[in-house]
Structure 1
Amino acid sequence: MALEIRRADQSDRDAVAGLLDEAFRDDPVSSWVFPDPEHRAAVHGRFLGVFVDVALAEGRIDYAVDGSAAALWLRIPAGDPEAEAAEDEVPARMREAADPDNERCELVGRLTGEVHPTAEEHEYLLMIAVTPERQGEGLGSELMRPVLERCDREGVPAYLEASSERSRGLYERLGWEFTGDAVRLPDGPLMWPMWRKPRAGAAA
């Protein structure tokens, strides 16, 4: 049965933030940002909620009708100084919202921002989450498919940062390629920036 998808709106904000919290609670990057599990449980949802707010205001959130998965997308213009300035504000907002005394809240966004490509317009997969009990069923691939098919039709590339080896493998199967410039979190895990070229003739 195909995954039924709708576009999330402001009324879904807390549910989507809760889904991200649940899906990424034990992610290597989240564990680096908030090493103490109890503290992470208390602030992690507020941290990722900033991503939800950004996507609702400036992009789109594709949301499974049953609440099992969500994908947050932003269309990034080529070389737009205003867009770059707005993106630069997000790490500080995340730190302020979640854990003001924790510089890692802001550092992870600063480091990924430094390698984010700016020369070409693209779709940016800000985050994608599947509820833990449904992971491994292909919901993430199905959720991304409409946007990737549109990218192929319009000749628009896509970009993301993979936060684990497992997610990197998923994205590679869908056409993303590692850019070769890994983000190295100090005394922490790697993140893999990935670029997907549009597939000519892949979608009618």
Structure 2
Amino acid sequence: MEKIKKIIEASIETKKQVLESEELLQTLSSVVDATVKALEAGNRIYFCGNGGSAADAQHLAAEFSGRFYTDRRALPAEALHCNTSYLTAVANDYSYDVVYSRLVDGICNKGDVLIGLSTSGNSANIVKAFESARAKGIVTVGFTGMTGGVMKGLSDYLINIPSADTPRIQESHILLGHIFCQLVEEAIFAGSN
């Protein structure tokens, strides 16, 4: 029982640090604005991650293409890892490090938004995807842990959770991801329902 309480307290403490970081909250607000602008211009949102972060990427993409609070039209959002035939072929034939960058080169367009989730900020496949995205004029948003890792220098916007503990970082990623979804939906569909 005590251990469970300590884990919950650690999660709450991380979220309190997020709440108290004006810089982090302002960055999230800027990400919302940039995403709304991209969507209104006819661009798309892409997500990528590995492991639990891949699950979060897919979850957030579904909130946009499905619905969040509002019964509205689908927004163009996709998690890049969902085609297992592509993923396994490219990982086998080339390298797992290029599974996302090849898709960015192939399907993303200037003005799209690429959101990469990596608790370390050092996932090679996401780093390479961000490098490709920057070369194409794609907005890059990094969801990372405290330091931002290599992604820090490749992110137009960095949401770096003030923690080095993977589960606490991921819990905060999904919290801020849900806020992101809600605010984008509200901005685009104001007055709808």
TM-score normalised over the length of structure 2: 0.28
Bigger proportion of residues as helix: 2
Bigger proportion of residues as strand: 1
